[in-house]
Amino acid sequence: MDVSALKRDLEGIKLDDNPAIVQQKSRDFYWYSPVLKQQLDHVTGDLIVTPKTEAELIRVLAACHRHGVPVTPRGSGTGNYGQAMPLSGGVVLNLAEMNEIKSIAPGRVVTGPGAVLADIDKATRAHSGQELRLSPSTYNTASIGGFIAGGSGGVGSINFGGLRDFGNVLRLRVVTMEAEPKVLELTGEDLHKVTHAYGTNGIITEVEMPLTAAYEWVDVIVGFDASFMDAARYGNALACQDGILAKLITPIAAPVPQLYFKRHQKFFREGQSICVVMVAQHGLDAFLAFTRRAGGEVIFNAATATAEEKKGLPPAYELAWNHTTLRALRVDPDITYLQSLYPFPNQLALVEKMDAMFPGEVFSHLEFVRLDGNITCFGLPLVKFTTEARLDEIVRLHEDNGCPIFNPHRYTLEEGGMKQTDAVQLAFKRETDPQGLLNPGKMIAWENPDYDYRSGRTFLFKGLQKAG
């Protein structure tokens, strides 16, 4: 890899090879996982390249192709699976400055890949009272390109499902990694080639996303003294209320709120499990009536809380999704987590079974979502980490009981996902990145087509072993 020759070819484009900056921009939230922390801690790129336009980006890709230099795209680096970490070194392609909001129309917005989600919403709200359908809880920092390539869903998934569901991305412009990079426009079925592909088969340079009506969202926390399952059943029933517009429904088991939600602690009684909700302001009365009838106690309501009570509180979504784990990790570094699905229609029975299985070791945290028209829930349970072997055993016990795990302790697409080859994404990579230079080591199907996903072993990327 001849980085000096590459630098000469990139004259005029913003570069940074200061080792401290390169290391900082080679990292994401991989350290969430004790397993990834150990495997990826040494990973660093050689050069940060920050194109401002698609034309500059094409120059970067052509030059890297010519010099055989790997390229790992990066939005804001908030991925928690090590997605944006350059396992074989090379160029970290920083897309943060391709952040233009290009056009807004009824139901749609067009932006550059580096646009931050909260900035997009600010613009679309001001323009025409619209907002994005879905956002991760890292809304204030994450980029739209990184969300599409590395995320899956989040706040809003209770109404719209996941990012990979038809209609949740409208169009992507993608540049290939070839001697003469091509620019492709993908829509419909073709979008699945690059959504959640970790940037292994093309760089997204423009996105067109659907919008929905923006309302004032009210943060509410509902408490349940008797048991976590009361909070879970309430969350499920609220999600099934077709007339109440909620954007977030998050049951969390005691003692997580009491131990880790430092700023909200004053609102919780000992032993109380909670359900964190974002509800549309115009639906608040109906929501409160439903909650009373369902036996929930409103312990925090942003619409009626005093300024003193609200002082310093993070927004509700920053208690939810992966922020629950972040808050726990800040207090107890031995906490880790899993990402699971409790498939419809047995979600509540499965939640109850798994909640009872690991007392004092695994603490339930659910996120209600609408998937294929049905209400069900994902889990992001917190786990008191002891050993990797025990973590693997907890994963196996979930899977043996019919709860698939999207393993956040693996850096490959397949192991963190459905544990099978995505033939569409693999075929697209053959077309768009024939030399395998984009984000190497993340797609097992490319690195080792004969890999046996049932082997029970963790895939180890050869390039990473060498770098270590």
Positions touching ligand FAD (CB under 6 A) are 28-29, 72-80, 83-84, 95, 113, 136-138, 142-143, 145-147, 149-154, 198-199, 203-204, 321-323, 326, 439
Cβ closer to ligand FAD: 28 or 131? 28
What is the smallest separation between the CB atom of 198 and ligand FAD, expressed in angstroms?
3
Shortest Cβ 173–ligand FAD spacing (Å): 10
Q: Which residue's CB is nearer to ligand FAD, number 193 or number 323?
A: 323
Quote the least distance from Cβ 288 to ligand FAD, whole Å.
Answer: 26
Contact (Cβ atoms closer than 8 angstroms) between residue 227 and residue 85: no
Q: For residues 2 and 41, which CB has a smaller minimum distance to ligand FAD in the complex?
A: 41
Residue nearest to ligand FAD (CB): 146
Residue 298, class by beta-carbon neighbours within 10 Å (0-12 exposed, 13-18 middle, 19+ buried)? middle
Residues 327, 320: Cα–Cα separation, whole Å: 10
Closest distance of CB 78 from ligand FAD, Å: 3
End-to-end CA distance of the chain: 17
Nearer to ligand FAD, 95 or 274 (CB): 95
User: Could you tell me the smallest distance in angstroms from the CB atom of residue 106 to ligand FAD?
Assistant: 25
Nearer of residues 133 and 233 to ligand FAD, judged by Cβ: 133
- Cα 295 to Cα 280: distance, rounded to the nearest angstrom: 21
Looking at the Cβ atoms of 63 and 84, the one nearer to ligand FAD is 84
Residue with tokens 């540049």: 175
CA distance 451 to 448: 5
Instruction: Tell me the three-class secondary structure of 98-123, residue by residue.
Output: CCCEEEEECCEEEECCCCEHHHHHHH
For ligand FAD, the closer of residues 199 and 381 by Cβ is 199
Number of H helices, E strands in the chain: 18, 20
Contact 331, 260 (CB under 8 A): yes
Least CB distance from residue 80 to ligand FAD, whole Å?
4
Nearer to ligand FAD, 139 or 224 (CB): 139
At closest approach, how far in Å is the CB of 71 from ligand FAD?
9
Task: Please list the residues that pair with 273 across neighbouring strands.
Answer: 224
Contact predicate 288/218, CB 8 Å: no
Q: Please, which residues have CB within 8 angstroms of residue 29's CB and are 6 or more apart in sequence?
A: 77, 78, 79, 80, 322
Query: Which is nearer to ligand FAD, 97 or 297 (by Cβ)?
Result: 97
Other CB atoms within a 10 A radius of the CB of residue 281 amount to: 13
Taking the complex as a whole, the smallest distance from the CB of residue 424 to ligand FAD amounts, in Å, to 16
How far is CA 22 from each of CA 59, 116, 207, 411, rounded to the nearest angstrom? 21, 21, 27, 20
Least distance from C-beta 292 to ligand FAD, angstroms? 29
